[in-house]
Amino acid sequence: MSLPDVQALRSDHDYKLTRVGVTGVEKPVQIDRPGASQTHALHACFDLFVDLPAGQRGIHMSRNLEAIGEVLDETVREPRKGLEWVVEDTARELLERHDYASVAEVEAESTFFVEQRTPSGAETMEPYELVAKATADREGDLRRSIGVVVTGMTACPCAMETTQHILEDEQDATIENAPSVTHNQRNETLFMIDVREGNDVDAEDMVTLVEASMSAPTFELLKRGDEARLVLQAHESPRFVEDVVREVLARAKKAYDHLPDDTVITVKSEAQESIHKHNAFAERVTTLGDLRDGDLQTDN
């Protein structure tokens, strides 16, 4: 008895599907970043999709696992230089294995570690979230995104001004050459860049850019002097989530002036407010072209 290809049958309802695939596929991935002293081993979680035309009942889901498996096997011989290259190659593989599909989409998330230095120069290994995404279509169009989520610190500019006012007016306090107290909190900021083939950005550079856009970076290991200096730094650069997003945009415009106008930039900043039970949030999705035109002038 020969088995029918159940997935290849006609569906009861002739509707195409936007995305069909598998989610939550966990894999170890070897990365060989140029300039890095060693191969990085990431633990990444993948989602892999293709579209499905109206005339066919289902996709052959095991092919998604074969596609990611083959790309990862290749990386043993020839490590990719970033997670974004792994998802790009996997998207291409998906299109080859699903001949009925017109688009393939792959997303991956991981944590990566960067050796940083505290204000006093001590070495500390800091974790950041890494996001990579690629879409490939039959016409050969390919987009690749790389993003980082950075945990840092923001100090509120508004409360700082109000507390100074209250202290001086009502409590007869004197504060000279020093910042006033305010609420500060943990902030998580996503910075994502979406490039076409041939262009390249480095995740570690993106981390540096985001950390400079907050009131202060955070570190896992801080001795007492470092801790105080970080607190002072944060109070000298008090920032709303709105400020953080705009700082990232301004720095991205400068840092990525070699990338084309259609490069998409996404920035989201969320502060786990210390004086509220809810979070504060700001977001901008735009292109380098729009940032270059200047928002204020063009009202883009």
Q: Tokens for 20?
A: 């069909």
CB 189 to a second copy: min, Å: 13
Among residues 183 and 200, whose Cβ is nearest to a second copy? 183
- Residue 107's H or E segment, with its range, is strand 103-117
Among residues 158 and 212, whose Cβ is nearest to a second copy? 158
CB 261 to a second copy: min, Å: 16
- 13 and 80 in contact (C-beta within 8 Å)? no
Q: What span, in angstroms and rounded, lies between the C-alpha atoms of 49 and 145?
A: 16
- 286 and 249 in contact (C-beta within 8 Å)? yes
Among residues 11 and 200, whose Cβ is nearest to a second copy? 11
Q: Tokens for 202?
A: 């480095």
- Quick check: helix, strand or coil at residue 194? strand
Interface with a second copy, residue 254, by CB under 8 A = no
CB 198 to a second copy: min, Å: 27
The count of residues interacting with a second copy (CB under 8 A) is 123
Which of 252, 256, 257 is CA-nearest to residue 284? Answer: 252
C-alpha torsion 63→66→68→72, nearest 10 = -170
- 184 and 163 in contact (C-beta within 8 Å)? no
Applying CB under 8 A, among 91, 136, 222, 259 the residue interacting with a second copy is 222
Interface with a second copy, residue 289, by CB under 8 A = no
Please report, as residue ranges, which positions from 108 to 137 form the binding site for a second copy (by CB under 8 A): 111, 113, 124-127
Among residues 185 and 200, whose Cβ is nearest to a second copy? 185
Interface with a second copy, residue 90, by CB under 8 A = no
Among residues 197 and 223, whose Cβ is nearest to a second copy? 223
Please report, as residue ranges, which positions from 156 to 215 form the binding site for a second copy (by CB under 8 A): 157-159, 161-163, 165-169, 171-186
Residue 292 main-chain phi, psi, to 5 deg: -70, -40
CB 143 to a second copy: min, Å: 19
Interface with a second copy, residue 292, by CB under 8 A = no
Q: What span, in angstroms and rounded, lies between the C-alpha atoms of 91 and 101?
A: 11
x/- string (CB under 8 A) for a second copy, residues 16-55?
xxxxxxxxxxxxx------------xxx---x-x--xxxx
